C-alpha cells in the first residue's frame, strides 16, 4: 500500500480531465506525491464573526436572501441583500454579472452560507463576489484558516485544496524510513503526520520553513541526497580502477595557441596525481568564469585516451555541448581523434553512434543528458567530465558511473560552492581552484544604470564597434516572451533590423545553434536573448553585455552572465539596467557587482546578503537540486540527515521508496 503515493492521482480523484491537466501542470506531476508535495505558501483566514473580522480575513455568514437589486446601468453593480439570524443586513455585490445566474443561485427566501472578501460600509457589511455559496450545513468547513497554494491560470485554490484534501483523507499511514530513535531524539514528525500538518496550517507561522513538519520533509530530501551519495561511493568503490599515466603519445602533438596559466598547470598536476592513484578520481575544478577550465578537462581526457580509455563530457544544455564539441574539435585538429556529439534533439545516426561507442571507436563523446539514456554503452569509459555539475542530480551521476569501466569523475563549476554545501551536494570530493585568468585579460567594467536612461545607452552603444549581448529575463510562470520581443522590436528601430536577432530557450536547437554561429561570424551586432546564454557561451569579440531587470537576478547568475564578455583582450563592459524602485538590498547587490569581478567574493557576499533576509529562490542562486531544503542555510539539518543516513539500510524497501518519492523532484534538470 506504500505505493499509494507513487500512483497517478486521477485514480483517486474524480475530476474532469481538464482539471486533472491543470493540476498536473500546477504540481509538476500527477503522482499522488506530486500533489502532496505542493505546499501552501500562505494562509487565508475565514472569520465567522461579523463583529470582529480583519481586512485580511474573509467573512463567512449564513443569511436568508431578502432582496435583489438589478441596477439601471450595466456599469453599476448588481446587489443582493440578506439577513443573518440576528437581524444584521449583509449586501452581496457583483460587478460584471450574469443576472439570471445570480437570481438562480440566490433565490429570494433561500438560506445560504456565503463567504468572501468583506468590508464595512455605511449601509452595513458588503461581500464582493463571494468565493463560496453553499448550504448552511457547510458552515463549519469555511471558518478558520485554509491553505493558499501556488496556482496556474484557470485552476482555483478551492479545486486544488479539494484534490489534496481528498488524497489526504485516504492516505494510509506510511511506514517511516527514519528510525524511531531519531524521530524521538530530534523530535521530528513522522512522514504521514508531517504531510498532513503542512496542508492544514493554522497560523502563518505554520507556513515557515522552520515549522517542524516542513523540517521533516526537508530532512527527507537531504537524506535522499545523502543516500544517493553513499550509493555513488559504494558503486565507485566496487568498480576497480587502474592508474592512468600520461604517455605523451597524443599530448606531444597538441599545440595550443596559448600558454597554460599557473592555475591551469597546478590543476593538471592534481588530476595527474589522482589518475596515478588506484583510487577513483572524484575532483571538482572550481574556477571563475573565463578561467579556462575546458582546456584542462580536455588535456585530462587526452591522458585517459593515452591509457586506452574513452572519455565523455556532459554539458547541461545543447548550446553548451555544441560549443564544447566545436572547441575541442578545434584543439584536437591534428591529433587524429574520433570525437562525437550526442544530443536528444538529433537522433539521426544514433544507432551508428552507439555501435561506434560500443566498439570503442569513438574516443571522446560530448553531449547532454542524451548520453545518460538507456542503451548508450561505452567499451571502456575511463573519465567522465561534467560541466556545471550543480545542474545535474545525483541520480544522473549514478547512471553515468554505472556506464564506466574505470570511474573517474572530473567536474567543473564556475559557481564557487561553500564547503558545507559541497559536502551536502557531492559528498567527499577533492577540489582544485582556479583563481587567475589567462594573461592579457582586462577587467570587465560594470556600470549600473536606471532603465529610464535606455535611450542614452542605445546612442552610446551605436558608436561602439562591438558585438552586444542584450539579456532580458523571462517570466517563467507566464511563459511570456513579450519582454524579449518588445525589446528586440525597440532595438530594431534604433539599430537596423538586420543587426538584431533573438535567442531563447524555446527555439529549436538547430535554430539556436544557427543564430549563435551567425553572431560569432559577425553577421549581426545585437543578440537579444534570455538567460540561455548564461552558461559557457564563448564568443571572444562580444565585449558588451546589457542585462535588463538586473535586480531580478541572483549575484551568481549576474556574474555568470557577465562572464560572457571579456573573453578576448579588448576592454569590455557589463551594463546592469535596473527598474525603479530598487530595494536597499537590491541596490547593495548591484553595487557589489560593480565593485568586484571576483566570483568567489561575490558568492560569499551573496550568502551574507541573503542571510540578511532577502532569500533568493534556488533558481537564482544557481542550485536547482533541492526543493524543500537549502544546502547553504540548513547546516544542522544536513548533519542530521548525514547521521541518519549512516543508520539506515540502503537496500531496504522503505529507503528505495523514499528515493523514488524524491527521484523526480531532484533529478529534473533545467536544460
Ligand atoms: P571557463 O573556465 O569559463 O569554462 P573556458 O574554458 O571557456 O572558460 O575558457 C575561456 C576562454 O579562454 C576560451 O576562449 C579559451 O580558449 C581561453 N583560454 C583558456 N586558457 C587560456 C590561456 N591559458 N591563455 C589564453 N586563453 C585561454
Ligand atoms: Mg566553461
* pLDDT tops 70 at residue 425: no
User: What pLDDT score was predicted for residue 620?
Assistant: 35
Q: Which residues line ligand 1 (CB under 6 A)?
A: 258-261, 264, 287, 289-295, 414, 438, 536, 538, 567
Average pLDDT, whole number, for the chain? 85
Using the mean position of ligand 1's atoms as its centre, give its distance from the Cα of residue 443 in Å: 15
Q: What is the mean pLDDT of residues 467-487?
A: 71
The conformational region for residue 605 under phi > 0 = left, psi -120 to 50 = alpha, else beta, is: alpha
CA 273: distance to chain centroid?
A: 35
Cα 443 to Cα 219, 294, 575, distances in angstroms:
42, 21, 14
pLDDT bracket for residue 33 (50, 70, 90): very high
Ligand nearest to the CA of residue 319, numbered in listed order: 2
SS3 108: coil
Over its C-alpha atoms, the chain yields an Rg (Å, rounded) of: 29
8 A C-beta contact, residue 418 and residue 273? no
Winning range, highest mean pLDDT, from 256-260, 269-273, 316-320: 269-273
Winning range, highest mean pLDDT, from 162-171, 279-288, 463-472, 591-600: 162-171
Which range, of 95-109, 208-222, 535-549, 623-637, averages the lowest pLDDT?
A: 623-637
pLDDT bracket for residue 623 (50, 70, 90): very low
User: What pLDDT score was predicted for residue 624?
Assistant: 43
Q: Of 509, 563, 516, 511, which is closest to residue 535 (Cα–Cα)?
A: 563
How far is 531 from 35, CA to CA, in rounded Å?
29
How close are the terminal C-alpha atoms of the chain, in Å?
35
Ligand nearest to the CA of residue 296, numbered in listed order: 1
How far is 327 from 356, CA to CA, in rounded Å?
22
User: What pLDDT score was predicted for residue 360?
Assistant: 94
Using the mean position of ligand 1's atoms as its centre, give its distance from the Cα of residue 290 in Å: 6
* pLDDT tops 90 at residue 122: no
Name the residue at shortest CA distance from atom 26 of ligand 1: 438
The model carries a pTM of: 0.66
How far is 405 from 242, CA to CA, in rounded Å?
10
- For residue 119, list its beta bridge partners: 126
| Mutation choice for ligand 1 from 262, 267, 292, 600, CB with most ligand atoms inside 8 A | 292
Q: Of 473, 537, 532, 505, which is closest to residue 345 (Cα–Cα)?
A: 505
User: What pLDDT score was predicted for residue 469?
Assistant: 94
User: What pLDDT score was predicted for residue 669?
Assistant: 33
Ligand nearest to the CA of residue 291, numbered in listed order: 1
Task: Name the strand (E) or helix (H) holding 255.
Answer: none
* pLDDT tops 70 at residue 230: yes
How far is 1 from 653, CA to CA, in rounded Å?
12
Closest-lying ligand 1 atom to the alpha carbon of residue 294: 6
- For residue 61, list its beta bridge partners: 114
Residues 6+ apart with CB under 8 A from 588: 609
SS3 55: coil
Q: In the numeric block, which cell numbers belong to residue 277?
A: 592513484
Q: Report the sign of the C-alpha dihedral through residues 37, 40, 46, 52, in that order.
A: positive
Using the mean position of ligand 1's atoms as its centre, give its distance from the Cα of residue 389 in Å: 19
Please count the other Cβ atoms lying within 10 Å of the Cβ belonging to residue 460: 13
Written in H, E and C, the secondary structure of 464-505 is CCCEEEEECCCECCCCECHHHHHHHHHHHHHCCHHHEEEECC
Q: In the numeric block, which cell numbers belong to residue 662?
A: 524524491
- Ion ligand 2, residue ranges at CB < 5 A: 536
* pLDDT tops 50 at residue 477: no
Which range, of 67-76, 270-279, 297-306, 417-426, averages the lowest pLDDT?
A: 417-426
Residue 77 DSSP one-character state: P
Q: In the numeric block, which cell numbers belong to residue 509?
A: 536547437
Domains, the chain, in order of start with CATH, read 42-148 (2.40.50.140), 246-434 (3.40.50.300), 444-596 (3.40.50.300)
Amino acid at each position: 500500500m506504500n505505493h499509494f503515493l507513487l500512483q497517478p492521482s486521477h485514480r483517486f480523484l474524480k475530476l474532469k480531465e481538464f482539471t486533472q491537466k491543470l493540476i498536473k501542470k500546477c504540481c509538476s506531476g500527477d503522482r499522488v506525491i506530486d500533489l502532496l508535495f505542493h505546499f501552501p505558501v500562505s494562509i487565508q483566514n475565514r472569520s465567522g464573526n461579523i463583529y470582529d473580522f480583519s481586512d485580511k480575513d474573509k467573512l463567512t455568514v449564513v443569511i436568508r436572501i431578502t432582496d435583489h437589486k438589478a441596477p439601471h446601468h450595466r456599469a453599476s453593480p448588481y446587489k443582493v441583500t440578506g439577513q443573518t439570524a440576528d437581524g444584521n443586513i449583509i449586501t452581496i455585490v457583483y460587478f460584471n454579472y450574469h443576472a439570471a445566474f445570480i437570481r438562480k443561485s440566490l433565490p429570494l427566501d433561500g438560506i445560504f452560507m456565503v463567504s468572501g472578501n468583506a468590508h464595512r460600509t455605511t449601509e452595513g457589511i458588503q461581500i464582493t463576489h463571494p468565493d463560496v455559496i453553499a448550504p448552511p450545513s457547510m458552515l463549519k468547513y469555511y471558518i478558520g484558516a485554509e491553505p493558499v497554494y501556488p496556482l496556474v491560470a484557470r485552476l482555483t485554490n478551492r479545486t486544488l485544496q479539494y484534490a489534496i484534501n481528498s488524497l489526504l483523507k485516504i492516505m494510509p499511514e506510511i511506514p517511516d524510513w527514519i528510525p524511531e530513535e531519531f524521530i524521538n531524539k530530534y523530535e521530528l514528525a513522522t512522514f504521514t503526520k508531517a504531510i498532513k500538518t503542512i496542508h492544514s496550517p493554522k497560523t502563518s507561522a505554520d507556513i515557515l520553513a522552520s515549522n517542524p513538519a516542513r523540517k521533516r520533509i526537508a530532512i527527507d530530501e537531504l537524506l535522499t541526497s545523502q543516500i544517493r551519495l553513499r550509493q555513488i561511493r559504494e558503486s565507485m568503490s566496487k568498480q576497480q580502477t587502474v592508474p592512468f599515466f600520461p604517455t605523451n603519445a597524443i599530448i606531444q602533438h597538441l599545440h595550443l595557441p596559448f600558454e597554460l596559466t599557473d592555475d591551469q598547470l597546478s590543476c593538471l598536476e592534481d588530476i595527474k596525481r589522482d589518475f596515478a592513484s588506484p583510487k577513483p578520481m572524484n575532483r571538482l575544478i572550481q574556477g571563475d568564469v573565463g578561467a579556462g577550465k575546458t582546456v584542462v578537462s580536455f588535456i585530462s581526457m587526452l591522458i585517459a585516451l593515452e591509457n586506452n580509455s574513452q572519455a565523455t563530457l556532459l554539458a547541461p544544455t545543447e548550446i553548451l555541448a555544441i560549443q564544447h564539441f566545436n572547441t575541442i574539435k578545434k584543439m584536437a585538429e591534428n591529433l587524429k581523434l574520433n570525437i562525437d556529439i550526442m544530443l536528444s534533439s538529433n537522433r539521426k545516426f544514433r544507432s551508428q553512434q552507439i555501435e561506434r561507442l560500443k566498439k570503442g571507436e569513438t574516443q571522446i563523446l560530448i553531449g547532454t543528458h542524451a548520453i545518460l539514456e538507456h542503451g548508450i554503452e561505452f567499451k571502456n569509459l575511463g573519465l567522465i567530465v561534467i560541466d556545471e555539475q550543480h545542474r545535474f542530480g545525483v541520480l544522473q551521476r549514478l547512471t553515468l558511473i554505472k556506464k564506466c569501466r574505470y570511474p573517474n569523475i572530473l567536474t567543473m563549476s564556475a559557481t564557487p560552492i561553500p564547503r558545507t554545501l559541497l559536502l551536502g551536494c557531492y559528498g567527499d570530493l577533492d577540489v582544485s581552484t582556479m583563481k587567475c585568468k589567462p594573461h592579457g585579460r582586462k577587467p570587465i567594467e560594470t556600470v549600473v544604470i536606471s532603465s529610464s536612461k535606455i535611450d542614452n545607452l542605445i546612442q552610446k552603444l551605436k558608436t561602439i564597434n562591438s558585438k552586444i549581448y542584450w539579456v532580458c529575463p523571462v517570466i517563467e510562470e507566464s511563459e511570456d516572451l513579450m519582454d524579449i520581443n518588445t525589446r528586440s522590436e525597440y532595438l530594431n528601430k534604433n539599430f537596423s533590423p538586420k543587426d538584431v536577432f533573438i535567442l531563447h530557450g524555446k527555439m529549436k536547437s538547430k535554430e539556436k545553434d544557427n543564430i549563435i554561429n551567425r553572431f560569432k561570424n559577425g553577421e549581426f551586432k545585437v543578440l537579444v536573448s534570455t538567460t540561455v546564454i548564461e552558461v559557457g557561451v564563448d564568443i571572444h569579440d562580444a565585449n558588451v553585455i546589457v542585462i535588463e531587470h538586473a535586480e531580478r537576478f541572483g549575484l551568481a547568475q549576474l556574474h555568470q552572465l557577465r562572464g560572457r564578455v571579456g573573453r578576448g583582450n579588448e576592454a569590455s563592459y557589463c551594463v546592469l539596467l535596473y527598474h525603479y524602485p530598487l530595494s536597499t538590498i537590491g541596490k547593495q547587490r548591484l553595487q557589489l557587482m560593480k565593485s568586484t569581478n571576483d566570483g568567489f567574493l561575490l558568492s560569499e557576499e551573496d550568502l551574507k546578503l541573503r542571510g540578511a533576509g532577502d532569500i533568493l529562490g534556488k533558481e537564482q542562486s544557481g542550485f536547482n537540486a533541492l526543493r524543500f531544503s537549502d544546502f547553504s542555510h540548513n547546516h544542522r539539518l544536513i548533519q542530521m540527515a548525514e547521521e541518519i543516513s549512516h543508520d539506515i539500510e540502503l537496500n531496504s524497501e522503505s529507503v528505495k521508496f523514499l528515493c523514488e518519492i524524491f527521484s523526480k523532484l531532484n533529478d529534473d534538470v533545467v536544460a
